[in-house]
Structure 1
Amino acid sequence: MNSSFDENKPIFLQVKERIEDQIVNDQLNEHDQIPSTTQLVNFYKINHLTIAKGINILVDTGIIYKKRGVGMFVAEGAKDRLLEQRKEAFVDKFIWPMLQEARKLGISEDETIKLVKQQKGREKR
């Protein structure tokens, strides 16, 4: 885990996203216990309330669940839900604007697909 933060985004959101990243990247699996709030406070050297705010968002959205007196755990289906959310965000942030720009430039659907495949091929090299 990286302990530095982007000053342009609230830290509690970055804490939430880092836990989500660990779930998406299979570092945390369903029913795995996540680090305690105290462990996260000690690691990141930030306020307990900041950590709690990020974690509470994950609890509220059903990505993690709490067992009183035991800790917090990754919920069943959390990875699938996160992947679906991220795919939707990807479409909104990248695909839709790309398609709008292609339309403005008169690039056909076939040509757009061809360009994407070409770039994907460059990535493999």
Structure 2
Amino acid sequence: MSQFNDSQPIFVQIGERIADMILSKTTREGEALPSVRQISADLAVNPLTVTRAYQSLVDIGVVESRRGMGMFVAEGGHQRLLAHERQKFLTEEWPRVMARLAALDLDPTQLLKQGGKDE
């Protein structure tokens, strides 16, 4: 969990990693997430960067802060995150995928029928 790319701010990348933990159910609803200090030390980043990553997940109702206890996956957080990520995919990534398919003259219907099998 230490390499970052230059295409996105670090707090966004950290937020995505935390979101992946929730989506994969590595951390379940009601469970504690790693502390800001722990992530900050593990990744050698400023604690404010980690706080900002957590805040982005708090803002969409996926994570909750419990005073004096830390950050926890909110009840219903997995479903909210899943809905949020699906919407984000459909509005941000899917149009790029469709444009790339069109540029390569690939038929999405045929690709789905093929099911990933080589010809």
TM-score by length of 1: 0.79
Q: Is the 8 A contact 2:61 2:74 kept in 1?
A: yes
Q: Percent identity at matched positions? A: 36
Equivalent residues in 2 for 1:2-21, closer than 5 Å: 2-21=1-20
Q: Distance in 1 between matches of 2:26 and 2:34?
A: 12
Deviations 1:51-72 (A, max 9, x none): 1111111112211101111111
Structure 1: gaps of 5 or more residues: none
Structure whose alpha-carbon radius of gyration is higher: 1
Q: Which amino acid aligns with 1:6?
A: N
Q: Distance in 1 between matches of 2:34 and 2:78?
A: 17
Q: Could you list the structure 1 runs, at least 4 aligned residues long, displaced by more than 3 angstroms after superposition.
A: none
Structure 2: gaps of 5 or more residues: none
Q: RMSD across aligned C-alpha pairs, in angstroms? A: 2.4
SS at match of 2:19: helix
When you count helix as a share of all residues, which structure comes out higher?
Answer: 1
TM-score by length of 2: 0.82
Q: Distance in 2 between matches of 1:13 and 1:81?
A: 18
